Amino acid sequence: MNHMARNYLERRKEYLKEFFFDPETGEPTGKPESIYEKIYEYLNHRENIGKSEYTRTNDVMALTEFCKNINKPIDKLTKVDIYQLFDSLKKGKSKSTIQFHKIGIRLFLDFAGRTDLAELCKFERSKTDEKLPEDILTSDDVEKLINAASSLRDRALIAFMYESGARRGEFFEIQIKHVVFDKNGAVVTLPKGKTGARRIRLVWSSGYLRNWIDNHPLRENRDAYVWCSSRDYTKTLEYVTFQNSLKRFALKAGVQKRVNMHSFRHAAATRLANDLTEQQLKKYLGWSAGSDMAARYVHLSGKDIDQAILKVNGIEIEEEDKTELKTIRCPRCNEIQNDQEFCFKCGMPLHEKPYLDTDTELEKFKKRIEYEVKMNTEILPNQMEIKDLQYRIQEIEEIIQLGEPDRRIEHQDERIPLRKFEIQKYRERIQHLEGEIRRIEFEIEQTKDYYLQQINELKNS
């Protein structure tokens, strides 16, 4: 069970309870207790049929809106009451939020035996609600977001979301044992999908994922969450925390489109709709066999229609590589990764030219050799770890500034705040790593002369 999700669910349920009982005295507030009893019967039913903590939290949030506006027993409700509830929902809420609440209320009313009122909660999707192609995140947008992220975990998660299109309730539950790397990338098991567990193939994002797992603080524990919290490695990353991080990355990267976790699912579905059949799309993205979602994304992609229209008008277009997520395999270590200049694992130049024909090419070759020398030492992983530790320190300092409660621990015969202790340990580790980097840089200088001599020989040959 996801500890973070469970705690949040319990807090939401306590807040819901306050509509019926005073939180200080426990006395009834006057709102019909029969509503409270039916709500908790419904929530127990949802748990018994296997709905996740995320889904049940969504149920509680929708029912909170219901309780804010309803003051009659359920069997006394009329259509007028429901329409007044809808009017209240429209105040200050987006269309997607209204839809979200209507779905939750409809399911509850149906469970409570008021199918006549549940029918009123059906949400008619407007054509203006459909996302246009220009609203969808592109690979360029995602590359900018990845470059704006400051930790290996966040970069890997952004890449993972874009390629996998997984729901947030699915990928937060992934443990290290659910990720298997092979010669073609990675196969990931999503253990708690909406339609059951499923396996997905990753190629483009597998390099980011391997890089993160290789540096994961609990990488030896196969039961550890892949997307762990930087505050407590044994727990999953908190949704709100990462959502706020995404907003910062978008601002830093200059991405003007709406960026949230579901944006990546929209983007993946739109991209995959160009090449997969509807049934393949349903299987990969975890839609039920009867869902119409795949058809909508195939329609949005305009699959093959541009080429057909051009052909009708006598215009022949040369076939081009339409692959949006370009990957490359390192010729040295065989690692698959996104199409970049150097291999993230061994430092091998991935686009080396067979000969040097100009001074410009010679200079590029010189820089690549220097870069490879550094990459083949311990410098890069040390630098990555330093960057990740600095990011964790920044996160903890922000939490301290917010004044959130902290527990104390025993250290050298005194009790000190846990967060300050963590910052101290991170800074000590950074100092050690910086010393290692200085030592390695000295060794690099000694060996670099050999490579520069080779370059001069090439230039004179």
Indicate if the alpha-carbon torsion angle 96, 98, 99, 103 is positive or negative: positive
- b/e per residue 316-354 (b: at least 16 CB within 10 A): eeeeeeeebbebbebeeeebbbbeeebbbbebbbbeeee
Q: Which pLDDT band, with edges at 50, 70 and 90, does 345 fall under?
A: low
Q: How far is CA 376 from the centre of its chain?
A: 31
Task: For the chain, state the CA radius of gyration.
Answer: 27
pLDDT in tens, 263-302: 899 888 888 888 888 888 888 888 877 777 877 776 666 6
Q: Check: CB of residue 186 under 8 Å from CB of residue 202.
A: yes
- b/e per residue 427-453 (b: at least 16 CB within 10 A): eeebeebeeebeeeeeebeeeeeeeee
Q: Which two tokens stand for residue 284?
A: 């990969």
pLDDT in tens, 89-125: 887 777 778 888 898 999 999 999 999 998 888 765 5
Strand partners of residue 323 = none
For the ranges 236-245, 254-263, 316-325, the one whose mean pLDDT is highest: 254-263
Q: Name which residue leads in pLDDT, 86 or 169.
A: 86
Q: Check: CB of residue 350 under 8 Å from CB of residue 343.
A: yes
Amino acid letter, 173: E
Q: Which two tokens stand for residue 31?
A: 């709102």
pLDDT in tens, 398-431: 777 777 777 777 666 677 777 888 888 888 888 8
Q: Name which residue leads in pLDDT, 10 or 308.
A: 10
Q: In 3D, which of 232, 236, 255 has the Cα closest to residue 149? A: 255
Q: Which pLDDT band, with edges at 50, 70 and 90, does 437 fall under?
A: confident
Region of poorest pLDDT, from 45-54, 234-243, 299-308? 299-308
Residue 257 CA neighbour count, 13 Å, CB half: 22
The pLDDT score that the predictor gives to residue 177 is: 94
Q: Which pLDDT band, with edges at 50, 70 and 90, does 441 fall under?
A: low
The pLDDT score that the predictor gives to residue 356 is: 44
Q: Which two tokens stand for residue 29?
A: 């507030």
